[in-house]
Amino acid sequence: MGKRIVVLGGGFGGVQATVELEKRLGREAEIVLVSEENFLLFTPLLPQIASSNINPRHIVQAIRDIRGNKRFTFRRDIVRAIDPAARRVTLCEGSLDYDVLVIALGSRSEYYGTPGAAENTWDFKTLEDAVVLRERVLDLCEHADHTADAAARQALLTFAIVGGGYTGVELVAELSDLLFRYVVRRYRRIAPSEVRLLLLEAAPEILRTIAPRLKAHALRRLRVEGIAVRTGARVTRCTADSVEVNGSEIIPTATIVWSAGVRANSVVEALPGPHDRAGRAKVNAYLQLQDYPEVFVTGDSAAAASAPDAAQVAPLAMAQGELAAANVERLLRGAPLEEFRYSDKGMLVSLGMNYAVVSIGRLRFSGYFAWLFWNAVHLYKLVGLKKQLQVGMDWALGTIFPRDTSIVRRQRDCKICGPPER
């Protein structure tokens, strides 16, 4: 065959597609994986990076380790544009022609046109986002510890999380653990009553897709943990030092984290053919782009005709990556393609230390055993024994020793102080 198959994006969908393509066509085709990050990130554990519960490197696996002695080529580069008519991908460092293309470029934040949101909020999607947010939170606590002005202390110690989906909920619960269980013990001039954690959700309820009973349990738990959960609270403006709610209430805060919605990657939005409201490419049931049967789109980038409303989650991206690879083989061999079929696998939401809610089919429970179940499932899903051991050790040590509150960035790079006078 000797064709070149290019896969764009080294996340759940892209890595699954690449590994599957290797199995099916590794000896017959040239397979090239392109991604801007040289690792696969296990996003479900990202909130625990922000809360210092896990070491950042323990939830990623280097693509070159995943490759081992497989044949595919990896190129760390940024995709700038795709020209399906010319079958060419423009990269930061050159271009790449393809015979077949699999797109798995994920998503970015959707700000819904909220003034100031793109400029003044912290994203929470990448490993870097989580590492930077952790340092930000600790940095502000360092400042608050010696700031005398009450209003300034209040703004420094108010953290607003926008979006009550599972990402926002898991993040706010983790930050609550970090701040109330660890930080206030070490920063002696910060009283627990001064720390304010807000979860702002525009809809009338959080965790919209889970059963009402579990939702109620989750809400109660968050409130017990000291989190102010505000529903019907639409964020209407964000500035460097405040968040405006419902067009009238101004809450002073130095940190707003945006996890209120996702939009397709801009490269995907620029593809020809129809897109859904979130900018995802509308593909047919075989995951092919309209008018370009040699282009397959998967995961957060795709709205498949056979599952247009499926939640954007890792199992869906992996299932689509696997099917795209199988359909690439069928296409090259002239065989009939297979349609994408997907059944929802349920939802597990961690609410910080010792509590989670689980909803899988008819199995619905919450509390400590749900939390153990959450941990077991995520440890099992983590790629590679080394990473599983590392995360397991992080969790075990975290039950004995305090969390690490060290900040890597030097004070001179601090956003609040600015560079020191020379």
Ligand X SMILES: Cc1cc2nc3c(=O)[nH]c(=O)nc-3n(C[C@H](O)[C@H](O)[C@H](O)COP(=O)(O)OP(=O)(O)OC[C@H]3O[C@@H](n4cnc5c(N)ncnc54)[C@H](O)[C@@H]3O)c2cc1C
Query: What are the phi and psi torsion angles at 370 (to 5°)?
Result: -65, -35
Is residue 163 near ligand X by the rule CB under 6 A? no
b/e code 32-44 from CB counts within 10 Å (16+ = b) = bbbbebebbbbbb
Give the list of residues 6+ apart from residue 40 with CB closer than 8 angstroms, or none. 10, 11, 12, 15, 60, 61, 63, 66, 383
Is residue 11 near ligand X by the rule CB under 6 A? yes
- Residue 219: which region, alpha, beta or left (left: phi > 0; alpha: psi -120 to 50)? alpha
List 314, 324, 331, 382, residue binding ligand X (CB under 6 A): 314
Is residue 375 near ligand X by the rule CB under 6 A? no
- Report, in Å, the least distance between residue 243 CB and ligand X: 20
The span of 10-18, 205-213, 219-227, 285-293 binding ligand X (CB under 6 A) equals 10-18
* Closest listed residue to residue 39, CA positions, set 382, 357, 365: 382
Is residue 106 near ligand X by the rule CB under 6 A? yes
- Report, in Å, the least distance between residue 44 CB and ligand X: 3
**Tokens standing for 37?**
């990050």
Is residue 294 near ligand X by the rule CB under 6 A? no
List 6, 44, 174, 296, residue binding ligand X (CB under 6 A): 44
- Report, in Å, the least distance between residue 188 CB and ligand X: 32
List 315, 367, 384, 392, residue binding ligand X (CB under 6 A): 315
- How many residues bind ligand X (CB under 6 A)? The answer is 30
List 49, 66, 100, 104, residue binding ligand X (CB under 6 A): 104
* Closest listed residue to residue 7, CA positions, set 269, 280, 316, 322: 322
* Closest listed residue to residue 253, CA positions, set 175, 339, 305: 175
- Residue 418: which region, alpha, beta or left (left: phi > 0; alpha: psi -120 to 50)? left
- Report, in Å, the least distance between residue 123 CB and ligand X: 9
Considering only residues 182 to 241 of the shown chain, the ones binding ligand X according to CB under 6 A are: none
Nearer to ligand X, 219 or 287 (CB): 287
Instruction: Please give the order of strands across the beta sheet that includes 94-97.
Output: 79-83, 88-91, 94-97
Is residue 310 near ligand X by the rule CB under 6 A? no
For 42-195, list the strands marked E by DSSP: 60-62, 73-76, 79-83, 88-91, 94-97, 100-103, 107-109, 122-123, 158-162
The span of 235-243, 244-252, 313-321, 406-414 binding ligand X (CB under 6 A) equals 313-321
| Residue found under tokens 């619905």 | 364
Residue 263 contacts residue 301 (beta carbons within 8 Å): no
Is residue 51 near ligand X by the rule CB under 6 A? no
Nearer to ligand X, 79 or 206 (CB): 79
The span of 42-50, 181-189, 247-255, 330-338 binding ligand X (CB under 6 A) equals 42-50
Is residue 154 near ligand X by the rule CB under 6 A? no
Nearer to ligand X, 74 or 187 (CB): 74
Nearer to ligand X, 156 or 316 (CB): 316
Nearer to ligand X, 115 or 346 (CB): 346
Residues that bind ligand X (CB under 6 A): 9-14, 35-37, 43-44, 46, 78-79, 104-106, 124-125, 167, 265, 267, 299-301, 312-315, 317
